[in-house]
Amino acid sequence: MEKYIFLITDLFRCYLSDKELIYLTSTSKKLEKLKEQLYYNDKIACKKIMHLPYNNNFRCVVVEYGARWIPKNVKFVYYRFATYERETPEFLFSKITHLELDDYHQSNIKRLPPNLSHLILGKRWTEKITCDIPLTVTHIAFGNRFNRPLEKYMTKMVTHLSLGKKFNQTIEKSTLSLVTHLTMSANYDRSIDELDLSSIIHLTFGYNFNRPFNNVTLTQITHLTFVGNYNQPIKNSIPSSVTHLEFGNNFNQPLNDLPLTVKNLTLAFKFNHSLKDCGAVTNLTLNVNSDFIPIDGISLSVTHLTFGFYFDQIITGWIPESVTHLKFGTCFNKSVKNIPSSVTHLYLGVGFKQPRDEIPKTCLFVLHGEI
């Protein structure tokens, strides 16, 4: 048993949650011994595990007000209605790598763990961080009310940055020069032409952003997401390195000038242009209204076609023969007997009530239910 302990625990970890793992290891005396050799990574309140003999093996915990105990091997700590510095034993400071403060945490932060890598601040957090951000921090996420100059909080090691809803400060040119993953705030609607975004790989704009994108240098970007109001022409604005492109509800522009590098495309409610010529897109997701019908069909480059929650239209005649994977959302409830014979994988939502015998025999894999 001991010889294969690492293999067994790795296999368990691939398929089971912490709760399932504990249930499984409770089924025999031999498996029971594994409990003290396993680490548990799902978030759980300290008060729920403090009585367990293997309680120090929990790495992700919720600390509530008045907590008297925290696991010795903890890595991720979430503070709920608790004062971060008061509730943390001194011996744990150097072990904490992930720190998350809840929405009501409003006290000044005067000290941060020296080995911290992820810092997540609550939605209501507006206070200053009066101490230095450790150079070990690579991920920072600010809450919805944060709207202070950004420069004080950025170190040379921060690669992942998420800005809360209300942030709308001017950002100095070099502040984001080493950031690879950036999520802008919902309120941010300033020009980004002067920013150094040369390291950005994943970029998400917030709800209010709706500015031309032509003069921005993004040589490394592969994933570009616009949420909400963005509705600008795409000609000469989508970098040729982009492979994943997602538009929000207000986007309604022609796709003729889509770069051939874009393989994954997501469109939403207001889109009402041709999908016949959308570059070399292979994976197309349409989060559209229930009455959406493509103007002149869908590009033959598409192999994976997904319809969103509300779509519920007769599909006869306009799904291309190139599609092999077809997925419908919750509201879809129309016949699928005339889908192309090329479709081998069919996913149907919980709202689908049509006769099962209408599903073509060419569909080798069919999933019906919550997707």
What's at 322, amino acid-wise?
S
Dihedral sign of CA atoms 5, 11, 14, 16 in order = negative
Query: Residue type for 176, please?
Result: L
Distance CA 7, CA 298 (A): 47
Predicted confidence at residue 146, as pLDDT, reads: 86
> Which pLDDT belongs to residue 240?
92
Please give the full DSSP string across 300-348, using - where no structure is assigned: TT--EEEE-TT-----TTTS-TT--EEE--TT--S--TTS-TT--EEEE
From the CA atom positions of the chain, what is the Rg in Å? 25
- Its sign, for the CA torsion 84, 89, 90, 92, is negative
- Count of CB atoms within 10 A of residue 9's CB? 16
Structure confidence at residue 2 (pLDDT): 55
Task: For residues 56 and 40, give the distance between their C-alpha atoms in angstroms, rounded to a whole number.
Answer: 9
Q: Which of 163, 124, 109, 111 lies closest to 140 in space, CA to CA?
A: 163
pLDDT of residue 287: 93
Q: Give the pLDDT of the chain (371 residues) as one tens digit per residue.
A: 555 555 566 666 677 788 888 888 888 887 787 787 788 888 888 888 888 888 888 888 888 766 678 888 888 887 765 556 666 677 777 778 888 876 655 566 778 888 899 998 877 777 777 788 899 999 999 988 888 888 888 888 999 999 988 898 889 888 998 999 999 988 888 888 888 898 999 999 999 999 888 777 788 999 999 988 999 999 888 999 999 999 999 999 999 889 999 999 999 998 988 898 888 999 999 998 877 878 788 999 999 999 999 999 888 888 999 999 999 999 999 999 999 999 999 999 999 999 989 999 999 999 987 65
